Amino acid sequence: MSTKAKTQTLKIASWNINSVRARLEIVERFLVEQQPDILCLQETKVINGVFPEGLFRRLGYNHLVLHGQPMHHGVAIISKVPMRDDDRLDWQANGEARHVGVRLDNGLRIENVYIPAGGEEPDRTINAKFGQKLDFFERMIDWSSKLTGPTLLVGDFNVAPLECDVWSHKQLVNVVSHTAVEIELMDRLQKSHGWVDIGRKFYPAPERLYTWWSYRALDWAKTDRGRRLDHMWVSPSLADQAVSHQVLESARSWARPSDHAPLITEFAF
């Protein structure tokens, strides 16, 4: 008699929250309504010592791996299931809190990243932040090419690679987040591990798929000038274990929203 291994399902979410302290009400709503097992946050904008852990623990998320800094950036992984082997990589060697990684008991590694936005001008000779973004990608490519084992790479990549990832390819082709040089780097990053883009696995191009809408357009829902800046990528061996995926666009219209919507993927291991 053989015994069949029990299937484990895990619902994993990623959300650029644009200040976790400013979003207490909607992050609670999200967790109660969607019930993810694990939530990866970017742009927490809080130091670890005053991270609002109580909210998460009250909702059953007793495992928190934090990497914050004052004012800007900041990432965290919050989970109902145990996490270990946490690390915090600094691909810029400048102290910015843009990565946190963990391993689950089933062996899955989760890497949560907040890639630099890159400033206004897509030219590193006049905009150092754009150069920083390009260098960040180069170092991520080196790191990614050496990865072994099943990995989920999630976060705010700050690049919308496909024409159907932006509201107007023509109007954004020279706008940071959709320039050819950024897309080339993102493509090299993807190839460096054979990453599978879960968003496009479930919503193949040329279907519209956005995760971010600027605060500046108050009529954002009507004009729908969105971009797909947030991504969930998996190792090739995990692609078939992603069984559902969605971008929760409705969260963009909740009270005091983040400008990014959450991404949710369910896995069956």
Partner DNA sequence: ATGGCTGGTAGAACCAGA
Please pick, from the candidates 43, 111, 165, 197, the single residue that binds DNA as defined by CB under 7 A: 43
Under the binding rule (CB under 7 A), the answer on residue 32 touching DNA is no
Instruction: Give least dist CB 128 to DNA, A.
Output: 10
Looking at 6-14, 82-90, 147-155, 214-222, which segment touches DNA (CB under 7 A)?
214-222
What is the footprint of DNA within residues 240-259 (CB under 7 A)? 256, 259
- The pattern of x and - marking residues 164 through 203 that bind DNA according to CB under 7 A reads -------x----xx--------------------------
The one-letter code for the residue type at 129 is: K
Instruction: Give least dist CB 200 to DNA, A.
Output: 19
Instruction: Give least dist CB 18 to DNA, A.
Output: 6
CA 184 to centroid of chain Cα atoms: 19
Instruction: Give least dist CB 207 to DNA, A.
Output: 20
Residues linked to residue 75 through DSSP beta bridges, in sequence order: 42, 67
Residues contacting residue 78 through CB under 8 Å, at least 6 positions apart:
38, 39, 40, 41, 56, 61, 63, 64, 65
Under the binding rule (CB under 7 A), the answer on residue 126 touching DNA is no
C-alpha 169/C-alpha 155 separation (Å) is 22
Under the binding rule (CB under 7 A), the answer on residue 19 touching DNA is yes
Instruction: Give least dist CB 50 to DNA, A.
Output: 8
**Which residue matches tokens 């994993």?**
12
Token digits of residue 110: 């989760």
48 class by beta-carbon count within 10 Å (0-12 exposed, 13-18 middle, 19+ buried): middle
- The pattern of x and - marking residues 127 through 166 that bind DNA according to CB under 7 A reads --x--------------------------x-x--------
C-alpha 11/C-alpha 182 separation (Å) is 30
C-alpha 181/C-alpha 161 separation (Å) is 10
Under the binding rule (CB under 7 A), the answer on residue 16 touching DNA is yes
Q: Count of CB atoms within 10 A of residue 71's CB?
A: 9
Instruction: Give least dist CB 4 to DNA, A.
Output: 44
Do residues 200 and 242 lie in contact, with contact meaning Cβ atoms separated by under 8 Å?
A: no
Please pick, from the candidates 15, 195, 212, 233, the single residue that binds DNA as defined by CB under 7 A: 212
- H-only helix segments in the chain: 24-34, 53-58, 128-145, 169-172, 180-191, 198-202, 220-223
Please pick, from the candidates 55, 64, 89, 117, the single residue that binds DNA as defined by CB under 7 A: 117
C-alpha 241/C-alpha 222 separation (Å) is 35
Q: Which of 184, 180, 227, 232 is nearest to 208 (CA)?
A: 227
Looking at 183-191, 197-205, 216-224, 231-239, which segment touches DNA (CB under 7 A)?
216-224
- Give the footprint of DNA on this chain (CB under 7 A): 16, 18-19, 21-22, 43, 45-47, 70-73, 116-120, 129, 156, 158, 171, 176-177, 212, 214-218, 223, 225, 227, 229, 256, 259-260
